[in-house]
Amino acid sequence: MSKIKRIGVMTGGGDCPGLNAVIRAVTKTAILKYGLEVVGIKHGYKGLYEGEKAFVPLTLHDVTGIIFKGGTILYSSNKDNLFDYTYIDKDGKQKRGDVSDVGVENLKKAGIDALIVIGGDGTLTSGRDFSRKGVKVIGVPKTIDNDLASTDTTFGYDTAVSIATEAIDRLRTTAESHSRIIVVEAMGRYAGWLALGAGIAGGADAILIPEIPYDIEVVAKALKHNRARGKNFAIVVVAEGAKSKDGDIVVSKVLENSPDPIRLGGVGELVAGQLEGLVGLEARATILGHVQRGGTPTANDRILSTRYGVAAVELLMQGKFGNMVALRGNEISYDSLENVIGELKNVNPNGELVNMARSIDICFGE
């Protein structure tokens, strides 16, 4: 414990409701309980590469009144992996390669003894890699997708589900007024947690997720069955990574120089077009997109973020480096970053949530 005097904290990847609540909890716990200095690293790993100009002291005043704010006061980047980084060399030429040693050296120059990394799979992968290089790292799981292994829930997920559910509630009035099928495309990448949660909460007629490849004919049959019972509209929630039994995921574009080059999107429009012809009702698609990631975090996410932030500092002070804080049941725990990385947490197609949804006549296109 005596060896840690100054800690760094950074946020990476896509923004997410609750990031500021974690930063606040880390800063307050470090200063008030342990008398540490806290340094914020702006713009994620890009800031770690840039060094001193991206390093800012965090005081109690700096984190006052930020618990309810979305985004991150430290800013973020989801394109900068220092183990495979595009940079300009001393001769002014653009190069790409491993510059992680620069990041390690910048931490040493700033007197930062340990680093708390807040992010999803990509950000935590680099956190693990820096841990392997001897940096004292603790990870905090962040993603609206809720797809990180070793934790039951990531912060940001509850807020995103609430936003998506509210959108479904609003779209339902239009669907019912005009006797339409409204297809709602949710984020989530290759996991269906967000679509599943919002679909159940929003009373969807069908939910299409990556873990259960769908047959569009089966979906259409379910909607026609509901129509025969007098329901002349429908809500279908589709995860952006959903795919048909005889098809593949729908890709909106590919960014060659990005660490995550595949951008999903467009399955909502595809499903809407197919259902319109099969069911005989006019169909519209709404892509929720980044609205799910923005704005004020829910009370649940503020509490979870605070618990994670406090636990991250405690792990550092206990010397349990190379771990990620986690929630298991209702207890805060932790697991090695080595176990977290590369393990996507998917929806269980035969789990309690899916079976519950089946029991109330939600169609998964099976």
Catalytic residue among 145, 158, 205, 335: 145
**CA-based Rg of the chain, rounded to a whole angstrom?**
22
> Chain centroid to CA 78: how far?
12
Question: Angle, to 10 degrees, between the axis of helix 216-228 and the axis of helix 267-279?
Answer: 50
Residue spans of the domains in the chain: they are: 6-155+297-329, 160-294+348-359
Q: What is the pLDDT of residue 253?
A: 77
Distance CA 289, CA 144 (A): 12
**Quick one: which of 198, 211, 143 has its CA closest to 169?**
198
Strand segments, DSSP code E, in 21-102 are 37-41, 55-58, 85-88, 94-97
Residue 49: HSE in the Cβ half-sphere, 13 Å Cα cutoff: 21
Helix (H, G, I), strand (E, B) or coil at 96: strand
Burial class, 13, CB count within 10 angstroms (exposed 0-12 / middle 13-18 / buried 19+): buried
Strand segments, DSSP code E, in the chain are 6-11, 37-41, 55-58, 85-88, 94-97, 114-119, 137-141, 181-186, 206-208, 234-239, 251-254, 262-264, 283-287, 323-328, 331-336
> At a CB cut-off of 8 Å and minimum separation 6, what does 289 contact?
187
**Quick one: which of 350, 354, 341, 358 has its CA closest to 141?**
341
Q: What are phi and psi of 322, to 5 degrees?
A: 80, 20
Q: To which H or E segment does residue 193 belong? A: helix 193-201
Neighbour count for residue 96 (Cβ, 10 Å): 10
Structural tokens at position 175: 């669907």
The CATH H-level superfamily of 160-294+348-359 is Phosphofructokinase domain (3.40.50.460)
Distance CA 238, CA 364 (A): 10
Distance CA 352, CA 61 (A): 45
Q: What does the buried/exposed string (b/e) look like for 18-50 if buried means 16 or more CB atoms within 10 Å of the residue's CB?
A: bbbbbbbbbbbbbbeeeebbbbbbbbbbbbbbb
Structural tokens at position 46: 């890009």
Annotation says 62 is catalytic: no
> Chain centroid to CA 243: how far?
20
Structural tokens at position 148: 């990180």
**Quick one: which of 74, 65, 11, 14 has its CA closest to 291?**
14
Enter the DSSP assignment of 244: B
Query: Are 39 and 112 spatial neighbours (Cβ–Cβ below 8 Å)?
Result: yes
Q: What is the pLDDT of residue 2?
A: 54
Kindly report the CATH number that applies to the domain delimited by 6-155+297-329. Answer: 3.40.50.450
Burial class, 345, CB count within 10 angstroms (exposed 0-12 / middle 13-18 / buried 19+): middle
What number of residues does the chain have? 366
Query: Are 265 and 250 spatial neighbours (Cβ–Cβ below 8 Å)?
Result: yes
User: Would the CATH topology of 6-155+297-329 be identical to that of 160-294+348-359?
Assistant: yes
Distance CA 150, CA 153 (A): 9
Query: Are 26 and 313 spatial neighbours (Cβ–Cβ below 8 Å)?
Result: yes
Structural tokens at position 351: 């789990």
* pLDDT tens track, the chain, 366 positions: 458 999 999 999 989 999 999 999 999 999 999 999 999 999 999 999 999 999 999 999 999 999 999 999 999 988 889 999 988 888 889 999 999 999 999 999 999 999 999 999 999 999 999 999 999 999 999 999 999 999 999 999 999 999 999 999 999 999 999 999 999 999 999 999 999 999 999 999 999 999 999 999 999 999 999 999 999 999 999 999 999 999 888 887 777 766 667 778 899 999 999 999 999 999 999 999 999 999 999 999 999 999 999 999 999 999 999 999 999 999 999 999 999 998 899 999 999 999 999 999 999 999
